[in-house]
Structure 1
Amino acid sequence: MEYPYFDLKSARELLPWLRQKLTEIKRVKYMAEESLIKGDKSAILQYTIQIDKIVKEITEKGIILRDPDIGLVDFPAVINNRPAYLCWKMGEKDIMYWHYAEEGYRGRKRITGEEEILSLT
Structure 2
Amino acid sequence: MDKRYFTIEEANAVVPDLLEIVPKLQILHAKLTKEFPDVRNAWEKARYGGGSMQGADYLAVALMTNRLINELESKGCVIKGIERGLVDFPAMRDGKEVYLCWKNPETEIKYWHDLDTGFAGRQPL
Alignment TM-score, normalising by the size of structure 2:
0.78
Task: Report how far residue 29 of structure 1 moved.
Answer: 3.2
1:65 to 68, 73, 79: 79
1:14-65 deviation line (CA, Å, top 9, x unaligned): 1001111112212333444564157622101110011011101111111000
1:75-116 deviation line (CA, Å, top 9, x unaligned): 0000011000100100223211101223222211111xxxxx
Specify the alignment match of 1:100 in structure 2: 114
Does the residue aligned with 2:68 lie in a helix, a strand or coil? helix
Task: Report how far residue 71 of structure 1 moved.
Answer: 0.9
2:90 to 51, 76, 85: 76
Matched, 1:109 2:123: yes
Q: Distance in 1 between matches of 2:121 and 2:32?
A: 34
- Name the structure with the higher helix share: 2
Q: Stretches of 4+ moved more than 3 A in 1?
A: 29-35
Q: Which amino acid aligns with 2:62?
A: T
Q: Which amino acid aligns with 2:116?
A: E
Paired residues, number: 111
Specify the alignment match of 2:104 in structure 1: 90
Unaligned runs of 5+ in 1: 112-121
Structure index of larger Rg: 2
Change (3 A) 1:22 1:98: same
Q: Distance in 2 between matches of 1:100 and 1:30?
A: 29
Identity percentage over the alignment?
27
Does the residue aligned with 1:4 lie in a helix, a strand or coil? coil
Alpha-carbon contact 2:26-2:85 (below 8 Å) kept? no
Unaligned runs of 5+ in 2: 39-52
Q: Distance in 2 between matches of 1:22 and 1:84?
A: 22
